[in-house]
Structures are given as C-alpha cells and as structure tokens.
C-alpha cells in the first residue's frame, strides 16, 4: 500500500516521430553514405581507374534536399563568428590547417592568435607577392581551386564535370533586357546560347573552378570587364565537391548562386558564385544590397539588380585581378563568356590552379 503508482504513457506516444525528424535522420544518414561513396571514388581515381558516371535518381535528389542544409549553414555561420579564447585559437586553427593542407606562409598574417574567430581565419588575406597576376593572358583564374571542367558551350548545355551537364538557361535565368546589357538584338527564334553571343564569329565558353575548404576563399576579377547586372537565386545548399557534382545532374542549378553579368572587349561575360553546404554566405564587395541564405525565400525565384542607373550608364568597371568578393569556407565559381573562335584554354581537367594564373587567351 506504500508503493507509489508508476504512470506510463501509451507506447504509441513514446515512439511518436514527426515526419520532419524522419526526413532529417534519413537524409543525414544517406548524406553520410554518399560521403563514403565519394571517398571510394577518389581512391579509384588516384589509381588511374576511370569511374563510370552514375546519376542520382529523382527520389535521391529529393531526399538529399530534405536535409535542412540552409538552416545548418546559418548555424555554422553563427558558430564561425563566435570569438575564440586566445589560448584555444592555435589548437583549433592548427587542426584545420593539418586537415585541409592550408599554407599559412602565404597568409598576410601568419600568427594564428590574430584571427578572433573561424570566419576571420577562413577569409584570411594573402601577401601581395603570393599571387602574381598574369599580364600576358586575357583571362586569369579568379580564385584558388581545382579545374572541374572547361571548354566550348554546345547545344545550350554546360558540363559541370565530365559527362554531367546542366542547362545554360536554367543556370543563368531568363535573358536580361538589351537596355541593361549591351547584347545584340537576336531574333526571338534563336537559342538561348545564340542570344548571348553579341558578335558574329564568336563562340560561348565556360570554366568551372571548385574551391576546397583549405583554399584561399576570396575571388577576384578574371579579366577587364564591366558588371552591369546581378541576379541572385536562393536555393539549396548541397555539397559541390567533385563527387557530388558527378552524381547530381544540374547541381549548380539547384544551389543558391549569385550571377554577375556584363561585357568585356569580346562581348558577353559572366561570373557566377555558387553556394554550398556551410557556404550560404556569398559576399560581393561592391553590392551592399546582396543578402544570401536568407531564412525566407521562394523556391525557384530569383532577384535582379541593375548596376546601370541615370548617374552610372556604364555599370561597375572591374580590372583584372581586382578584389571582387568572398565565400565563407569554399565553393564553386563558374565563368561563362563570349570570345572569338581562336580562344584557347591553357588548362587540364582536374589540375590545381591559383588565383592570378592563366586560364586562356587568344
């Protein structure tokens, strides 16, 4: 009679799982499985074994997109801005340097105690002489990274890696009006690719550069050009490492990105900064109105902003090598531009490249 009654809840209530929790757990587990698969592919590539392309199905892409990567990226961004105690900075940064192979001898400030938080360390500046800008070639690499793909755009499709393509129009969005850009008046029936080409005899070219976590995270102007327009696509923040880029078709079209378009001496020129997991923050130095990875966004939407106004008819002039923007961690930059048919890339797929080195020339 002195025993206390034990009140228990029904078994159904104890094990009740909400759909959101199931999606997060399943999606996270599957993402881990994909990471393991990527690791195995990297080992095969190191042995020189060619890996066949195996694209993800629609349900696999949907499952991956169910993981709240935008929320996780915002949380990671806030964590990166937390000031670390002085005694903890060197151990934390040293672990990161060892993991990703960071060369701190190139940093403008080599003392690890100088960086108050991870965000400052990610966005560290380099010594002026660390990245000499090539003066001979017309187009240079805007950042450090790995060349995933390059070449001529064909049939309105662009390769993100060998054998995996995405739609040029889906990536850049609808064509901008000729009032804002110096485009030629192409006939309406022409393909989207031909509408971008402003001069007869020119072709459209592309180059994809992947920035790893250990790379220098700022990016610069790849040539002398004028930026006329910015288009911001809110979207997913899936990983853009080469393994995932080989697995998900139109990965860059799914992810959040900032498209800068304008013109150079040969016609149309664009630079697109593609966001990724933990890289929701994309900053363009001359665009104070840009805010990426916002909590509220509409799927499939985009925001346009013109740099041409009554006071500024030309847009934003950029010189080759000039600071343009930065990522927080690492991501991908895609160049799509118009050039004469004799333009040649001085690259090899898979090679490492550094900011300031030549991409190609006439």
Asked if the model's pLDDT at residue 360 lies above 50, the reply is yes
Average of per-residue pLDDT across 240-261: 85
Asked if the model's pLDDT at residue 27 lies above 50, the reply is no
Assign 129 a pLDDT band (cuts: 50, 70, 90). confident
pLDDT at residue 293, as a whole number: 80
Share of the chain above pLDDT 90, in %: 33
Tens of pLDDT, residue by residue over 73-108, are: 788 778 888 899 999 999 999 998 998 888 999 999
pTM summary value: 0.81
What b/e string do you get for 82-113 counting C-beta neighbours within 10 Å, with b at 16 or more?
eebeeeebeebbeebbeeeebeeebbeeeebe
Active site residues: 144, 220, 331
Average of per-residue pLDDT across 107-135: 89
Tens of pLDDT, residue by residue over 313-331, are: 778 999 999 999 998 777 8
Tens of pLDDT, residue by residue over 3-20, are: 555 555 554 544 455 554
Average of per-residue pLDDT across 277-282: 74
Average of per-residue pLDDT across 29-50: 62
């Amino acid at each position: 009679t002195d025993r206390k009654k034990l009140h228990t809840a029904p078994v159904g209530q104890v094990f009740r799982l909400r759909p959101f929790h199931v999606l997060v757990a399943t999606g996270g587990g599957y993402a881990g499985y994909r990471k393991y698969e990527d690791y195995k592919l990297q080992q095969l590539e190191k042995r020189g074994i060619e890996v066949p392309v195996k694209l993800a199905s629609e349900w696999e892409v949907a499952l991956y997109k169910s993981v709240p990567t935008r929320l996780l990226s915002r949380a990671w961004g806030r964590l990166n801005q937390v000031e670390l105690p002085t005694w903890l900075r060197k151990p934390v940064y040293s672990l990161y340097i060892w993991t990703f192979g960071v060369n701190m001898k190139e940093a403008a400030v080599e003392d690890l105690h100088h960086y108050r938080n991870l965000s400052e360390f990610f966005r560290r500046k380099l010594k002026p002489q660390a990245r000499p800008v090539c003066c001979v070639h017309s187009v240079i690499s805007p950042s450090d990274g790995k060349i995933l793909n390059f070449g001529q755009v064909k049939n309105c499709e662009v390769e993100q890696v060998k054998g995996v393509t995405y739609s040029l129009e889906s990536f850049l969005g609808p064509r901008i009006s000729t009032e804002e850009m110096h485009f030629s008046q192409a006939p309406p029936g022409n393909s989207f690719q031909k509408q971008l080409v402003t001069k007869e005899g020119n072709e459209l070219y592309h180059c994809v550069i992947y920035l790893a976590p250990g790379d220098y995270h700022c990016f610069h102007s790849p040539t002398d050009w004028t930026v006329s327009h910015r288009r911001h696509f809110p979207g997913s923040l899936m990983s853009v490492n080469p393994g995932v880029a080989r697995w998900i078709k139109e990965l860059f079209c799914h992810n959040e990105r900032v498209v800068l378009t304008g013109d150079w001496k040969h016609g149309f020129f664009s630079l697109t900064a593609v966001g990724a997991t933990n890289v929701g923050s994309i900053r363009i130095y001359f665009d104070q109105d840009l805010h990426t990875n916002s909590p509220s966004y509409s799927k499939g939407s985009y925001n346009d902003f013109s740099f041409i106004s009554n006071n500024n008819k030309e847009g934003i002039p950029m010189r080759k090598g000039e600071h343009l923007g930065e990522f927080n961690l690492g991501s991908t930059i895609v160049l799509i531009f118009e050039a004469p048919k004799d333009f040649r890339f001085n690259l090899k797929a898979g090679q490492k490249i550094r900011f300031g080195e030549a991409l190609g020339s006439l």
